Amino acid sequence: MVRRVLALTSGRIAVAVLAVIALLAVLGPALAPQDPLATGDSPLAGFSAGHWLGTDHLGRDVFSRLLDGSRVSVLGSLEVALTALVVGVVPGILSVYLGRAFEWITLRVVDTLVALPFLLFAVAVIALLGNGITQAMLVTGVLVSPLFYRVSRAATLVVARSPYVEAALVSGASVGWIVRHHVWAKVLPPIAVALAQTIGTGFVIVSSLTFLGIGVQPPEPTWGGLLASDLGYLDQRPWAPLLPALLITVTVWACNLLADAIRDVSGEAGRALADERRAGRRRSEPTPAGGTR
């Protein structure tokens, strides 16, 4: 599937953008030219050789703060997506196989989770457990998990009722065998789409919380926090909020672009595309004589 995603221009662009963002998260703090927390004596300065993107209202280097703040945003969004993945996918698949009681209970739990506003819930958790992005993102991940539950359940239901699964059953295959050999490959593409989307949603959630000053203790830099602080000085540096806003927007856009690319190359349409390419390759190869079709 990776090869098929990379065969699309949109897939290549999305992967390239997300790779840069991931590199920023890993190497950003090390690459920061100055201490992101160190205040200077030239607040709200413009672009210069010393401060490539200027300084904020306390004279801190904006470029260093953007690089340093990338890790919190990336880790937070990944935490949301991976928590949702683990909490949602496993019961989603098993709800088709483990009988009516398990199905009913998990469906009602999912209905309940959908009814809870996750941003408010994350704020409430931080209020209860103290200011920390990790616990807030874990709770948000659980509240976002119904998406994964529904996606994996729907894909499993389609596969479970297909004749090839019945053929496997008639051969004596166990549920574990069927999930490993038939269900998993079909459920994976929609889950990958949901995962890419949720990482984007995670970015928005982390940015929203840090914009409100929740989850990260100042003066720790975050993209949302930078956006919020820059908004207070629009008359002196009107362009300043554009930088963190652009980073957040491009990252979320790349996540959605990747989700679209995965959807384009998976399922029936993706299979038809792959079959067509394979048939094209075969046509270009010399065919051995005596084939019976």
Partner 1 sequence: MTTGSPTDSPAGTPAGGPVPPADVPGRAPAVPVLAVTGLDVHHGRRRRRRPVLHGVSLTVAPGETLGLIGETGSGKTTLARAVLGLVRPSAGSITLAGEEVSTHGARQWRALRRRGIVQYVFQDPLRSLDPDLTVERSLAEPLLVGGVPRAEAATRIRAVLARVRLEEDLLGRVPGELSGGQRQRAAVARALVTEPRLVILDEPVSALDSAHRVQILRILKELRAAGVALLFISHDLGSVAGSADRIAVLHRGELVESGTARDVITRPRHPYTRLLVGSAPTLRGAPADRAARDALRALLPA
279 binds partner 1 (CB under 8 A): yes
Q: By rule CB under 8 A, what string of x and - marks binding of each residue 186-225 to partner 1?
A: x---------------------------------------
What is the rounded distance in angstroms from the CA atom of residue 83 to the CA atom of residue 217?
A: 23
Of positions 181, 212, 238, 246, contacts partner 1 by CB under 8 A: 181
We find the least distance from the C-beta atom of residue 149 to partner 1, in angstroms, to be 23
What the block records as the tokens of 172 is 């004596």
* 157 in Cβ contact with 95 (< 8 Å): no
- Say how many CA atoms lie within 13 Å of 176 toward its Cβ: 0
Residue 61 bridge partners (DSSP):
55
- At what angle are helices 184-211 and 267-284 packed, to 10 degrees? 120
How many Å apart are CA 239 and CA 247, to the nearest integer?
A: 14
Task: Pick the closer one to partner 1 by CB: 101 or 170.
Answer: 170
- Pick out residues in 149-168 that bind partner 1 (CB under 8 A): 162-164, 166-168
Please, which residue, 158 or 245, has the CB nearer to partner 1?
Answer: 158
- Calculate the CA 91 to chain-centre distance: 20
Q: Which of residues 243-272 bind partner 1 (CB under 8 A)?
A: 271-272
CB 160 within 8 A of CB 167: no
Does 98 bind partner 1 (CB under 8 A)? Our answer is no
Instruction: Give the number of residues in contact with partner 1, rule: CB under 8 A.
Output: 26
Q: What residues make contact with partner 1 under the rule CB under 8 A?
A: 162-164, 166-174, 177, 181-182, 185-186, 271-272, 275, 278-279, 288, 291-293
